[in-house]
Chain A
């Protein structure tokens, strides 16, 4: 009874130990390399997850690598475009270990891989950016922009450079910062200010012009309206004159008297008020001030 329990326990321990020495797991996130007696070839690569058998060490040595994506960022680097314009870019690379054998042989560790990547990235940066004009990075005409294409070219170039060499796969690449150096920013600010001021002026003068146009339009309309009104008023006055003329005909009965009456009216109107008259005592009826009128005999009779 007792011996049986102890026996089972010993068997279990041996089995577990045996499994752990002769089997190993590769997770979904890993790839592995089985090095047998210090030798490895394509058949030693394990790219599929699962459980695999092995000889215990030191016959088999198992190297597992995390095959998930890693981000690597190159330092901020100044480089020059085709037209020798300095430009500062910060490139990041998303990569993963894809070929365990090549990685084991050429690189060995992630740190080493990153240092290799760093020099490759700066090569790629200098090469590809040097092939493009600054105007292809940023341009007032969007049709001439090639920023996306430049990044694609860099990706292709970097892929070609690391291909079959380091056992790594470049998943993507991008420029995460596109900058210019300090002195250039000052120039840019100056130009931005100048452009803004120009814009301000334009806006204000456009507003002024529009205002003037509206105002003068309105004034012109007013003039037209008043002129038309004046014409109509003249017509009305003309009607009045014409109508009055009919009555003037009636004065033809005695033009002399009519003129006399008209003069009298005029005199009354002109001297209606606030006037000073200086006249000789010879005029009628002031002759009376000088002397009595002579009474003619005929009249007495």
Chain B
């Protein structure tokens, strides 16, 4: 475009003088001014575009779960709360004047620590059959991780050098960055960014070494305070303790990181002592079972003896409880089982003995007048009636004629056992 203009100018200069002031001159200057106008316009557009590009390049969006800080010549811009920018659109000047660091503050990051667990080779991890795993006799401090636990305190027992327990554990912690400024200033985050990576992308990886050390340290420090039984049974207490220690350490180093959640994933005694622990565990299950059985026996026994009033009755009998006679009678009337049976037998005896005495008395009274009239005859009649009745019931009757000289004779009677008696006897023996 400008070359054209130049050529136009040349043309103008080379033309004959008489032509210079002719009508063509007006048209030439007209086209020149036209060309200048267009080129200015284009320049303007380019400048506007450049300005727009400049403004757009400084735009930064902060996502809802993020916060940002702006470095102005390397120093955090702003005072107090304005140092931290919330979510939204922000505008900054280009590097090196301004630089924005975006920190994911609401993102909850999980981190697992398995370094306090024993070493398992790959083939061991794949092996599902536990019996086929060859358990080493000892733990190698180079590869196996564990914590030490204290022993059960025993009064008067001399502390032995091996008087502690070993326990394996796996931990998981969820944390988030609470204070982006402190985090940015104090926590080393790698500056070697791959193309396309941002500060937020490398936080997790950069922080993990420090975090792992702190978690292990907290776990090891906390665990020596507990016995292995406490460690295995009251996991919540220990998790709280470790979390507290970890948070304290994170605060001590001004990391700006908050532990959101801590979890004791697994905790277990060493494989080497598995059998002994399982036995002990089983025994602890057996004990309540034994007691329950015994209690059932006790309840049944009392119920069979006296029923539901057994305990009340006992406390009265043993003088632990004072009751009126009516109450006592009521208790006795409620008795069931063996006690009731025995009382029933006694009552039956009472009835029987009274009734029979009464019957005898009445009978005597009735026959007395008759007897008084002819005592001997009456007696003989009664006697013979009785003999007759007796002999009627007797199975075998053997009557022997005594000889005149009894000395020389001997009578032998072979008594056959009644087969019926024998049968019933042997039966009753069997049932016993």
Residues of A within 8 A of B (CB): 25-30, 48-51, 66, 68-71, 73, 76, 83, 85, 88, 92, 94, 96, 134-135, 137-142, 145, 147-148, 151, 171-172, 174-193, 195-197, 199-200, 203-204, 206-208, 210-215, 217-219, 221-222, 224-226, 228-230, 232-234, 236-237, 239-241, 243-248, 250-251, 253-254, 257-258, 260-262, 264, 267-268, 271-282, 284-286, 289-290
Q: Of all chain A residues, which has the CB nearest B351?
A: A240
Would you call B71 an interface residue if the criterion is a C-beta within 8 Å of the partner chain's C-beta atoms? yes
In the complex, are the beta carbons of B276 and A225 less than 8 A apart? no
In the complex, are the beta carbons of B188 and A66 less than 8 A apart? yes
Given contacts A191-B163, A210-B294, 8 further A-B contacts (CB under 8 A): A192-B228, A199-B280, A229-B338, A240-B353, A247-B354, A254-B371, A258-B364, A281-B401
Residues 123-149 of B contacting A (Cβ, < 8 Å): 137-142, 145-149
In the complex, are the beta carbons of B338 and A226 less than 8 A apart? yes
- Bound state CA distance, A275 and B279, in angstroms? 67
Q: Of all chain B residues, which has the CB nearest A84?
A: B161
* Chain A residues whose CB sits within 8 angstroms of the CB of B163 once the complex forms: 139-140, 191
Given contacts A236-B346, A257-B368, A280-B402, contact A73 B151 (CB under 8 A): no
Would you call B210 an interface residue if the criterion is a C-beta within 8 Å of the partner chain's C-beta atoms? yes
Which among B74, B138, B161 is the interface contact of A185 at CB below 8 angstroms? Answer: B138
- Bound state CA distance, A162 and B248, in angstroms? 24
Interface with A: B11-19, B60-68, B283-291, which one?
B283-291
A-B contact pairs, 19 of them (CB 8 A): A28-B184, A69-B255, A137-B148, A140-B157, A145-B225, A174-B214, A177-B141, A188-B162, A190-B162, A191-B160, A207-B291, A215-B297, A219-B301, A225-B317, A240-B346, A243-B354, A251-B360, A261-B364, A286-B399
- Bound state CA distance, A267 and B209, in angstroms? 109
A267: shortest Cβ distance to chain B, in Å? 6
In the complex, are the beta carbons of B152 and A140 less than 8 A apart? yes
In the complex, are the beta carbons of A189 and B273 less than 8 A apart? yes
* Chain B residues whose CB sits within 8 angstroms of the CB of A253 once the complex forms: 364-365, 368
Would you call B194 an interface residue if the criterion is a C-beta within 8 Å of the partner chain's C-beta atoms? no
Would you call B4 an interface residue if the criterion is a C-beta within 8 Å of the partner chain's C-beta atoms? no
Interface of B, helix, strand, loop or mixed by DSSP = helix
In the complex, are the beta carbons of A218 and B224 less than 8 A apart? no
Interface with A: B26-34, B51-59, B86-94, B380-388, which one?
B380-388
Would you call B430 an interface residue if the criterion is a C-beta within 8 Å of the partner chain's C-beta atoms? no
In the complex, are the beta carbons of A218 and B277 less than 8 A apart? no
* Chain B residues whose CB sits within 8 angstroms of the CB of A85 once the complex forms: 161
* Chain A residues whose CB sits within 8 angstroms of the CB of B272 once the complex forms: 189
* Chain A residues whose CB sits within 8 angstroms of the CB of B115 once the complex forms: 177
Given contacts A176-B213, A188-B166, contact A204 B138 (CB under 8 A): no
* Chain B residues whose CB sits within 8 angstroms of the CB of A51 once the complex forms: 73-75
Would you call B391 an interface residue if the criterion is a C-beta within 8 Å of the partner chain's C-beta atoms? yes
Given contacts A138-B150, A180-B141, A218-B297, contact A281 B399 (CB under 8 A): yes
Would you call B379 an interface residue if the criterion is a C-beta within 8 Å of the partner chain's C-beta atoms? yes
In the complex, are the beta carbons of B76 and A267 less than 8 A apart? no
* Chain A residues whose CB sits within 8 angstroms of the CB of B418 once the complex forms: 274
Residues of B within 8 A of A (CB): 71, 73-76, 96, 115, 137-142, 145-154, 157, 159-166, 184-189, 209-210, 213-214, 216-217, 220-221, 224-225, 228, 249, 252-253, 255, 269-270, 272-273, 275-277, 279-280, 283-284, 286-288, 290-291, 293-295, 297-299, 301-302, 305-306, 310, 313-314, 317-318, 332, 335, 338-339, 342-343, 345-347, 349-354, 356-358, 360-361, 363-365, 367-368, 371, 379, 382-384, 386-387, 389-391, 393-402, 413, 415, 418, 420-421
In the complex, are the beta carbons of A250 and B361 less than 8 A apart? yes
- Bound state CA distance, A192 and B400, in angstroms? 91
Which among B76, B224, B318, B379 is the interface contact of A145 at CB below 8 angstroms? Answer: B224
5 pairs of A and B residues whose beta carbons are closest in the complex: A240-B350, A233-B346, A218-B298, A174-B217, A244-B357
